[in-house]
């Protein structure tokens, strides 16, 4: 079993319900949720004219390989109505792999650790809540150190 950290995000419809349904899908298809952060409300990133997001980070214990995790979370997104119409567009649910154990993977459709996590307060705030001392395997800094930067995006713990 390995630990995988996942970021959940929703900015359409009943955002909390989509987060809850994603968690249910993850338990059924990926593995046991070991820890979950609080839910954070976050201004839209990338396309700033979109509705605010609810975000949450999960630590999940899984026996699946990284590609299997990706395939299953994409299936969960699809089952919850996710449509990929435009980059950074609104979505019912988004599930990103932040870390898979301490592995570094760089494939065209699978990059782990998530390549932008260290630049996004809406990822670092909830991640720091549940894994503050976790070491980023590429940057060799813990999450608290990475979270020590200024970001104008409002990230509010609910």
- Given the residues 15, 36, 91, 120, the one annotated as active site: 91
Q: Is 94 a catalytic residue?
A: yes
**Those residues with Cβ within 8 angstroms of residue 24's Cβ, 6 or more apart along the chain or in another chain:** none
Tell me the C-alpha distance between 153 and 122, whole Å.
Answer: 8
Planar angle of CA 105, 37, 87, nearest 5 degrees? 50
- Given the residues 96, 109, 120, 151, the one annotated as active site: 96
Q: Is 84 a catalytic residue?
A: no
Q: Is 3 a catalytic residue?
A: no
Q: Is 32 a catalytic residue?
A: no
**Those residues with Cβ within 8 angstroms of residue 61's Cβ, 6 or more apart along the chain or in another chain:** 1, 2, 3, 31, 32, 34
- Given the residues 84, 94, 109, 151, the one annotated as active site: 94
- Given the residues 82, 101, 109, 151, the one annotated as active site: 82
Residues that are catalytic: 82, 91, 94, 96
């Amino acid at each position: 079993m390995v630990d995988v950290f996942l970021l959940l995000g929703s900015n359409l419809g009943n955002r909390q319900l989509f987060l809850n349904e994603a968690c249910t899908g993850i338990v059924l298809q990926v593995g046991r949720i070991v820890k979950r952060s609080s839910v954070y409300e976050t201004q839209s990133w990338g396309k700033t004219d979109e509705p605010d997001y609810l975000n949450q980070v999960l630590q999940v214990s899984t026996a699946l390989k990284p590609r299997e995790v990706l395939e299953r979370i994409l299936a969960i997104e699809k089952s919850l109505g996710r449509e990929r119409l435009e980059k950074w567009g609104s979505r019912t649910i988004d599930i990103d792999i932040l870390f898979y154990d301490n592995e570094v993977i760089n494939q065209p459709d699978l990059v782990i650790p998530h390549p932008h996590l260290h630049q996004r307060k809406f990822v670092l705030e909830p991640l720091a809540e549940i894994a503050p001392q976790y070491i980023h395997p590429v940057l060799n800094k813990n999450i608290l150190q990475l979270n020590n930067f200024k970001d104008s995006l409002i990230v509010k713990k609910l």
